[in-house]
């Protein structure tokens, strides 16, 4: 990614007030390198094979699976949150078994790894000699030089002239028409990259960033290389996922923000890395 500055935050008015996508503010970054894609199952398999690393989902014995993606016996299914009943805690769900113990990644080597926590992503980075991107680095790379644009390709909608990202189609959360070809994850190199060569920064899977999350951070963010607040409860996640839909979660935008606790894992979140020297 070339050195440069950009306007960080939501310019289109699509923001969620609780996410803190405003105020708009200028950010300047030095040049850095970033993975063209999210870390894939094949990438993560090489890491675990070399290190014997056990993910938090494997240690806890449970991870969150979208209800239509479950592939597990009934006795493995746990409770649902009243606020998000489409998520099920599934015993035996992990990065090797994204739908539960009856699923596998045998044909998903080039798909993004999922069911990895922020801690798991950090462990991979340590092994690879890389690090997680800051939230500012992530947004700068996702924009691909298109300042104030809604999406990596501009302001046209995701389905304009053919599908440009992997999101939900149909009626969320009960009926997915799969018009873009994917009910869950797509291969990491699918659709078209942005002008910086970054593939699928929006849609497909949420991506962990290095920063702690605060909805008020933009009010005090420095102009030069912001790194997020010093403390917090959740870590920033960016980009949305295959479950995003305009009727529920229109966070498949360059500026959209979300967060989760660093030990959380789920079937629609992964990560990409940047170079330490960046």
- Write out the chain's pLDDT in tens, 278 residues: 999 999 999 999 999 889 999 999 999 999 999 999 999 999 999 999 999 999 999 999 999 999 999 999 999 999 898 889 999 999 999 999 999 999 999 999 999 999 999 999 999 999 999 999 999 999 999 999 999 999 999 999 999 999 999 999 999 999 999 999 999 999 999 999 999 999 999 999 999 999 999 999 999 999 999 999 999 999 999 999 999 998 888 999 999 999 999 999 999 999 999 998 74
Taking the C-alpha atoms of residue 171 and residue 61, their distance in angstroms, rounded to an integer, is 31
| Nearest of 134, 154, 136 to residue 144 by alpha carbon | 154
Residue 67 maps to which CATH number? 3.90.1580.10
Contacts of range 40-45, beta carbons closer than 8 Å, 24 or more positions apart: 40/109, 40/110, 40/111, 40/112, 40/113, 40/188, 41/95, 41/105, 41/108, 41/109, 41/110, 41/111, 41/112, 41/113, 42/109, 42/110, 43/113, 43/124, 44/95, 44/113, 44/116, 44/124, 45/109
Residue with tokens 């199952």: 41
Q: Into how many domains does the chain fold?
A: 1
Taking the C-alpha atoms of residue 104 and residue 95, their distance in angstroms, rounded to an integer, is 9
In 218-236, which positions are buried (b, 16+ CB within 10 angstroms) versus exposed (e)?
beebeeeebebeeebebbb
What's the pTM? 0.97
User: Which domain, by its residues, includes 19?
Assistant: 4-275
């Amino acid at each position: 990614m070339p050195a440069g500055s950009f306007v960080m935050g939501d310019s289109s008015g699509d923001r969620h007030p609780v996410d803190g996508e405003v105020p708009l503010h200028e950010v300047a970054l030095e040049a850095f390198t970033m993975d063209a894609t999210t870390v894939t199952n094949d990438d993560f398999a090489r890491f675990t094979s070399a290190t014997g690393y056990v993910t938090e989902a494997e240690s806890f014995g449970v991870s969150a699976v979208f209800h239509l993606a479950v592939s597990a016996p009934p006795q493995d299914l746990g409770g649902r949150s009243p606020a998000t009943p489409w998520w099920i805690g599934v015993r035996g769900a992990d990065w090797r078994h994204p739908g539960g113990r009856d699923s596998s990644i045998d044909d998903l080597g080039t798909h993004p790894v999922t069911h990895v926590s922020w801690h798991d992503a950090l462990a991979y980075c340590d092994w690879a000699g890389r690090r997680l991107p800051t939230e500012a680095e992530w947004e700068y790379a996702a924009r691909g030089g298109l300042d104030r644009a809604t999406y990596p390709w501009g302001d046209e909608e995701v389905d304009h002239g053919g599908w440009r990202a992997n999101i939900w189609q149909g009626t969320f959360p009960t009926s997915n028409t799969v018009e873009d070809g994917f009910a869950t994850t797509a291969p990491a190199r699918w659709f078209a990259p942005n002008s910086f060569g970054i593939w699928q920064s929006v849609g497909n899977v949420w991506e962990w960033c290095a920063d702690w999350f605060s909805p008020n951070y933009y009010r005090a963010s420095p102009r030069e290389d912001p790194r997020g607040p010093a403390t917090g409860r959740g870590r920033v996640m960016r980009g949305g996922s295959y479950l995003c839909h305009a009727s529920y979660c229109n966070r498949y935008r360059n500026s959209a923000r979300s967060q989760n606790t660093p030990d959380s894992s789920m079937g629609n979140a992964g990560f990409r890395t940047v170079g330490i020297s960046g």
